[in-house]
C-alpha cells in the first residue's frame, strides 16, 4: 500500500512566485521526512529534511512544514527559479529502519519565466 502520497502530479508556477508542494502519509510511525529533487537522467538529490519533533525546517529558499496531526507535510520554495524545474519526491522513514525510505510518486514542477 502507498504510505506516502503526493496527489499533485504536476505544478506550474511563475518565476519569483512561491511553489508549494504537498505530501500526505498514513503511517504514524514515520519519524522523519525528506524531500528529494530529481532532474531527467540523473539520480534524486537530497534537498531538505525534518524530524517529527519539529514543525518547520528552513534552508535558504526551501522550507518544509510538518503537521503531524494531519499527517501532512509541505515544501515551500520562495522565490521559485527556472532551475527549480524538476520532479520533487517526498520520502519518510522510521528511526530504527536504518535509512530505508518510503517515497511518494513525485510532483513535476515547471517554473515559467
* 76, 58 contact by CB (below 8 A): no
Inter-CA distances, 30 with 40, 46, 49, 71, 105, Å:
29, 18, 13, 10, 17
Instruction: Tell which one of 8, 62, 65, 101 touches other proteins (CB under 8 A).
Output: 101
Q: Which stretch binds other proteins (CB under 8 A): 14-22, 61-69, 71-79, 102-110?
A: 102-110
Helix (H, G, I), strand (E, B) or coil at 66: strand
Residues 15-54 that bind other proteins (CB under 8 A): 32, 34, 36, 41-46, 49, 51
The C-alpha cell at 21 is 508542494
Q: Is position 60 an interface residue for other proteins (rule: CB under 8 A)?
A: no
With contacts defined by CB under 8 A, name the span among 12-20, 59-67, 71-79, 87-95 that binds other proteins.
87-95
Task: Return the closest-CA partner of residue 91 out of 42, 41, 59, 47.
Answer: 47
Name the residues that contact other proteins, by CB under 8 A. Answer: 2, 4, 6, 32, 34, 36, 41-46, 49, 51, 89, 91, 93, 95, 98-106
Amino acid at each position: 500500500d502507498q504510505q506516502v502520497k503526493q496527489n499533485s502530479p504536476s505544478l506550474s508556477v511563475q518565476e519569483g512566485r512561491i511553489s508549494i508542494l504537498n505530501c500526505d502519509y498514513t503511517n504514524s510511525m514515520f519519524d522523519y521526512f525528506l524531500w528529494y529533487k530529481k532532474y531527467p537522467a540523473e539520480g534524486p538529490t537530497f534537498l531538505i529534511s525534518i524530524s517529527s519533533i519539529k514543525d518547520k525546517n528552513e534552508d535558504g529558499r526551501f522550507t518544509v512544514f510538518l503537521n503531524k496531526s494531519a499527517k501532512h507535510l509541505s515544501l515551500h520554495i520562495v522565490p521559485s527559479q527556472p532551475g527549480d524545474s524538476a520532479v520533487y519526491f517526498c520520502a519518510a522513514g522510521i528511526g530504527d529502519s536504518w535509512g530505508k525510505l518510503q517515497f511518494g510518486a513525485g510532483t513535476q514542477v515547471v517554473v515559467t519565466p
